[in-house]
Amino acid sequence: MAAKIHILRSDLANKIAAGEVVQRPASAVKELLENSLDASARSITVIIQDAGKVLLQVVDDGEGMSHEDAVQAFKRHATSKISTPEDLEHITTLGFRGEALASIGAVAQVELKTRTDGEEVGTLVRVEGDDVKEVTRAACEKGTSVAVRNLFYNTPGRRNFLKSQQTERKNTTDVVTRMALSFPEVSWQYVSDGETLLTLTPASFEDRVRDIVGKKQFEQLVRVKETTEYLSIDGFIGRPDFVRRNRTEQFLFLNRRFIVNRAINHAVFQAYEHLLVKGAFPFFVLNLSVDPHNVDVNVHPSKMEVKFENESNIYRFVLSVVKRTLAANDLVPNMEMVSRESAGMPDARLRFGGSGPVAPQDVMGIPGQFDLDQLFRRNRVPGEGVAVDSFAPVLQRDRPDRVFPQETSLNAPHEGRAIWQVHNKYILSQIKTGIMIVDQHVAHERILYERVLASFENNLPSSQQLLFPQTAELTPGDYSLAKDLLPHLETLGFVLKPFGKNTMMIEGIPADVRIGSERKILQELLDEFRNNEHHATMDARDNLAKSFACKAAVKAGDRLTAQEMISLIDQLFLTTMPYVCPHGRPVVIKISIDELDKRFGRT
């Protein structure tokens, strides 16, 4: 029988390879840009027509190619970037597979013009559907220009498969944006159908990020930076109230290559904990650098996936760095005024998630609460207005009877610690940047929650012995639940002895529980524990910690002394996540001086 196997003709092989390397105009642009950057270009222009379907062209001022190399470059597996198997172990260039030009040449009409520094005249190569149609000397600038016309003209299946102009253009714009973020030292120009969409001059990384996201949005970002021996991270993350509805504004670069990595994305997401609403995604631009030996970029022809030697370490690193950055930057959603234009926008409460008790309207401008307008008017020095720093003292001096009826909540006992309790519910205090309002109940909840988790972790209960042990009669169900939870309850600080007949002897209680309410707290704790049991994700200890924190915390309506308020706030800011309670409700709202100024028409 005759042999059936034969080697594919190169044009067919290239067409097949093209299917993986070049799926759409954007992927062709990406490959061309990688080549320009690998050739050390300092200035790159991208031109597209009809979303790249009619024309896509990349012009660079990089090293260029010799006459010989220019022809060679279109062959399959032609590359100048690696030569030995060892090279594959530490890739430092964006390209290395030697298949981009071959693939593009197989499915389009390509014109390449290139010249190196040493040559007087350059080279022109025309390739069409894998056929080299023309190779001549041609005058051109130093660098390389690749013009790709009628992409997929000979693979109609592929061409029909393309999405709308708008979508394809957006994909290309995304590619250019990513590259521009990752290579700020390069100047970029991006032209679509004759319209210049992007002009970027060489800049620092920070300035480039500002250029791309816009000045206003840039203010919503904070820097993330950390270097270890094995790995470094540098970038920007969005404040929790600067959320996106999708993942398109998540830029992850590994050794300057844009990558898609679910684990790392998840690590960032996880770091925001409850700070994000369901369906919201944080903005980030993160550059990771690792030794190329420790990462494999040869996973897929598109080179967007990578395999890390130690992904779980990287996950933990990213998680902790982002988490720390959020905590260190005092990231409370800044309250935005509810202006007419933004009336339809989600308010601070929505941005937080849960059904938070504090909506901006509750604090600002509702008559009968703080009549801020009136107060300020009364104290205005003609032509001067009220210095915002004197805001708090002004409130107490002039309207104590109306605004703060409780004696206990009147004074700021320490220099610089102006603090008041409002309606026995919120704590108002002056801070450097403006004012801060804390929900006393959820603040205390957060503190207790973390304390309980710590005692679980260290197995160090902090308990107070009762002088007169109490008996608590429980329902049979609660009694057996309490017995089941006994070891955990003890870690929490309870000292309980089953006394028979559904009765528990309470001999000690957690240090945070007020003497006199020991029976009540045990009962409430068990009730809350049951309520939470429907949440499948909560384990018993987490449930117990949350239930206890909720029930032992001061309530709305509890009057606090100034000392208690100060201690509460100090402890709050020692927690890892001061801005959200364990259920995801907001704890703190800030109003910046800027916002107040805006509100009073001082800007």
Residues in the site for ligand ADP, rule: CB under 6 A?
Answer: 31, 35-36, 39, 60, 62-65, 73, 78-81, 95-102, 144
Cα separations in angstroms, 377 against 21, 384, 386, 489: 67, 11, 9, 55
Minimum Å gap between C-beta 253 and Mg ion is 17
Q: Phi then psi for 198, rounded to 5 degrees?
A: -150, 130
Residues 42-101 that bind Mg ion (CB under 5 A): 95, 100
Minimum Å gap between C-beta 200 and ligand ADP is 19
Residues 92-111 that bind Mg ion (CB under 5 A): 95, 100
CB atoms within 10 A of CB 400: 15
The burial class, CB within 10 Å (0-12 / 13-18 / 19+), for 175 is buried
CB atoms within 10 A of CB 540: 13
Q: Phi then psi for 58, rounded to 5 degrees?
A: -125, 125
Query: Which is closer to ligand ADP, CB of 103 or CB of 543?
Result: 103
DSSP state letters, 313-360: HHHHHHHHHHHHHHHHTT-PPBPPP--STTTTS--HHHHH-S--S--H
- Determine the Cα–Cα distance for residues 124 and 133; give it in Å rounded to an integer: 11
Position closest to ligand ADP via CB: 95
26, 168 contact by CB (below 8 A) = yes
Element (H, E) at 390: none
- Determine the Cα–Cα distance for residues 516 and 394; give it in Å rounded to an integer: 39
The first and second tokens of residue 204, run together, are 């620092």
- Determine the Cα–Cα distance for residues 442 and 356; give it in Å rounded to an integer: 10
- Determine the Cα–Cα distance for residues 72 and 55; give it in Å rounded to an integer: 23
Rounded-to-10 torsion of CA 448, 453, 459, 465: 20
Minimum Å gap between C-beta 37 and ligand ADP is 9
73's contact among ligand ADP, Mg ion, none, with CB below 5 to 8 A by partner kind, is ligand ADP
Minimum Å gap between C-beta 293 and ligand ADP is 20
Query: Which is closer to ligand ADP, CB of 127 or CB of 526?
Result: 127
Query: Which is closer to ligand ADP, CB of 300 or CB of 378?
Result: 300
81's contact among Mg ion, ligand ADP, none, with CB below 5 to 8 A by partner kind, is ligand ADP
- Determine the Cα–Cα distance for residues 452 and 394; give it in Å rounded to an integer: 40
The first and second tokens of residue 71, run together, are 């022809």
Query: Which is closer to ligand ADP, CB of 132 or CB of 486?
Result: 132
Asked if 333 touches Mg ion (CB under 5 A), the answer is no
Bridge-based pairing state of the strands 43-49 and 187-192: parallel
Single out the residue of 14, 27, 35, 109 in contact with Mg ion (rule: CB under 5 A).
35
Minimum Å gap between C-beta 72 and ligand ADP is 8
Query: Which is closer to Mg ion, CB of 176 or CB of 222?
Result: 176
351's contact among Mg ion, ligand ADP, none, with CB below 5 to 8 A by partner kind, is none
Query: Which is closer to Mg ion, CB of 28 or CB of 474?
Result: 28
Position closest to Mg ion via CB: 95
From the list 33-41, 215-223, 424-432, 546-554, the region that binds Mg ion by CB under 5 A is 33-41
173, 190 contact by CB (below 8 A) = yes
Query: Which is closer to Mg ion, CB of 78 or CB of 431?
Result: 78
Among candidate residues 295, 305, 270, 274, the one with its CA nearest the CA of residue 284: 270
From the list 31-39, 65-73, 314-322, 384-392, the region that binds Mg ion by CB under 5 A is 31-39
Minimum Å gap between C-beta 104 and ligand ADP is 8
Rounded-to-10 torsion of CA 19, 24, 26, 27: 0
Query: In degrees, to the nearest 5, what angle opens at C-alpha 209 toward C-alphas 207 and 211?
Result: 70
Minimum Å gap between C-beta 442 and ligand ADP is 55
**β-bridge partners, 236:** 223, 285
Query: Which is closer to ligand ADP, CB of 80 or CB of 313?
Result: 80
Query: Which is closer to ligand ADP, CB of 99 or CB of 445?
Result: 99
Element (H, E) at 47: strand 43-49
Query: Which is closer to ligand ADP, CB of 70 or CB of 392?
Result: 70
Minimum Å gap between C-beta 155 and ligand ADP is 18
Q: Phi then psi for 454, rounded to 5 degrees?
A: -65, -40
Minimum Å gap between C-beta 97 and Mg ion is 7
- Give residue 150's region: left, alpha or beta (phi > 0; psi -120 to 50): left
Minimum Å gap between C-beta 169 and ligand ADP is 23
97's contact among Mg ion, ligand ADP, none, with CB below 5 to 8 A by partner kind, is ligand ADP
Query: Which is closer to Mg ion, CB of 100 or CB of 125?
Result: 100
595's contact among Mg ion, ligand ADP, none, with CB below 5 to 8 A by partner kind, is none
Minimum Å gap between C-beta 278 and ligand ADP is 42
Binding site for Mg ion (CB under 5 A): 34-35, 95, 100
